[in-house]
Amino acid sequence: MVEYQWWQTGVIYQIYPRSFSDTTGNGIGDLRGIIQKLDYLAQTLGIDAIWLSPFYPSPMADFGYDVEDYCNVHPMFGNLDDFDKLIINAHERDIRVIIDWVPNHSSDQHPWFKESRSSLENPKRDWYVWADPTVGGGAPNNWLSVFGGSAWELDQKTGQYYLHSFLKEQPDLNWRNPEIKRVMFETIRFWLDRGVDGFRVDVAHYIMKDPDLRDNPPSPSGALTFHRPHGEYDSQIHLYDKGHEDVHQVYREFRSLLDGYSKESPRMSVGEIHIFEWQDWVKYYGSPEAGLEFHLPFNFTLLKVPWQAKAVRKAVDELESVLPGWAWPNYVFGNHDEGRLASRFGVEQARVAAILLLTLRGTPTIYYGEEIGMTDVEIPPEDQLDPFGLQVPGWGRDRCRTPMQWNSGRHAGFSDKPDPGLWLPLSEDYRRVNVESENECPGSMLTLYRELILLRKSSLALRQGKYRNVNSVPDDCFVYIREAAEEKYLIALNFSPDRRLINNFGYQEGKIVLSSLLDRTELIDSGELSLRPNEGVVAIINT
């Protein structure tokens, strides 16, 4: 019998620490704020693991993804004692803790980089990617930064260029240097020894580049690299500046490191990998023969495809077909880089998306605030903080990082800051869309998420059962069955604003146990199921 681990059967909840709960009154969230909300996560919502976006010391050029110290906590968020208390308090509630790890680049203020750029002879010079100018004095090649312009920055003092795949304040570490692998793996051990249960690896596929630094070819179509516009970056096929085959050896060793800590409690890893060719993406699982890699390479496909039943079904079926039998799927519909579901799909379809996320085979990850239907906050260009939004107008990420809406009081219960000015503004709907109000409303989005998670926990079929799609249904509906042993659930999702009838799902009787509108629990007979506009249902099938 297969033994399933917590990272397979559980529900992961992403927390953006700056925006979850502020206990210091400075308008910015912190670790103590997360500790104070653990009962909400464990008891009200029922999640199994939290993933924390970066909380490390940082100049905040990219809001923490420019790390100045990999083994500490930024004073803005608290200190290591606070982190240890978070681990203890989370584990007491059977909540696992996953943290961000940023291996591709550090901050330019990291002591390693300060030494590296100090001279050509410094022992840490080769800890970062340096290269001589071309004969004409320009950048070493044509590689571009995700955030705009060349990926190379000239250091006037030493006369060489350093590589930065993102901001110039984020120099790329040289993973071809064994010393970098050694010291970076030591940072992993530091957090594992403190009780961390897993790591989300930032831009995991970037760490190994072409050792010959060859030019990228032009993109004839300007295809979107991250499924959203990246300006000049989309003018190239990014063949040589990331994802070199040598990357897989690094992650095989990374997996071995984690497995060495897994005897007492299973540790896990999830990789941020923006690859949409299935055969390339699936390689990041590794293999039992060559060596395992990520437990879960993040599956971003449903962020890319149109929100249409046929497109979503095709993406799910393709994932199921490409996965080896031993690998475990996962789904994510939103995160700190993406617009919120209620803004992308509308509130009714955001409810359908909740059912889809929490009933598909695989591990679901929920972004904070989605469970109450938070929406994007449009921020005037002059007030935007996100460096990507400043580079690509209209695509800033501030809009989906706004403070969590806990109640209808001052600052939505996020902060006791005595004057206006949270780090980002609240949505205007916070007096209606908040945890306190929705927790008391039987038809709310929060109630839907809570009921879905509870149903998932109680069902072997939904946690770990097989998936199979149902054919011969309307084109704007996605219908599938989850089954384990004698338990079978039918999930029927209507992507249409019109009523739809499902009558070819292979069973004559059953019972609706959950509707996205939370107002139906009725028997199914004669093998017919009627779906209202924009409705999703979960039904248990009699066999």
How many Cα atoms sit within 13 Å of 513 on the Cβ side? 20
Given the residues 48, 62, 202, 376, the one annotated as active site: 202
Which 8-state DSSP code applies to residue 139? -
Torsions phi, psi of 44, nearest 5?
Answer: -70, -50
Local structure of residue 222 (DSSP, 8 states): -
> Which runs of consecutive H residues, i.e. helices, occur in 309-386?
309-322, 341-345, 347-359
The residue length of the chain stands at 543
Take residue 143 and report the two structure tokens written for it: 């590689």
β-strands 529-531, 500-502 pairing: antiparallel
- CA dist 128 and 125 (Å) reads 7
Place of tokens 């704007």: 476
Instruction: Give the position of tokens 């203890």.
Output: 88
Instruction: Give, as one character, the DSSP assignment of residue 45.
Output: I
Which residue in this structure is represented by tokens 């990420």? 397
Find out whether 34 and 47 touch, Cβ atoms under 8 Å.
Answer: no
Based on its alpha-carbon atoms, the radius of gyration of the chain, rounded to whole angstroms, reads 24
* Nearest in space to 9 (alpha carbons), one of 435, 358, 433, 408: 358
HEC per residue, 444-460: CHHHHHHHHHHHHHHCH
The 3-state DSSP class for residue 510 equals: strand
Q: Which amino acid does the sequence have at 365? A: T
CA-based nearest residue to 466, from 445, 480, 454, 476: 480
Give yes or no: 272 in active site. Answer: yes
Residue pair 164/171 in contact (Cβ under 8 Å)? The answer is yes
DSSP 234: G
Beta bridge partners of 540: 489, 511
Neighbouring C-beta atoms of residue 485, cutoff 10 Å = 8
Token representation of residue 84: 């240890």
Can you give the three-state secondary structure of 416-447, one letter per residue?
CCCCCCCCCCCCCCCCCCCHHHHHCCCCCHHH
H or E stretch at 491 = strand 487-494
The one catalytic residue among 153, 172, 272, 386: 272
Neighbours of 528 (CB within 10 A): 12
Q: Which residues are catalytic?
A: 202, 272
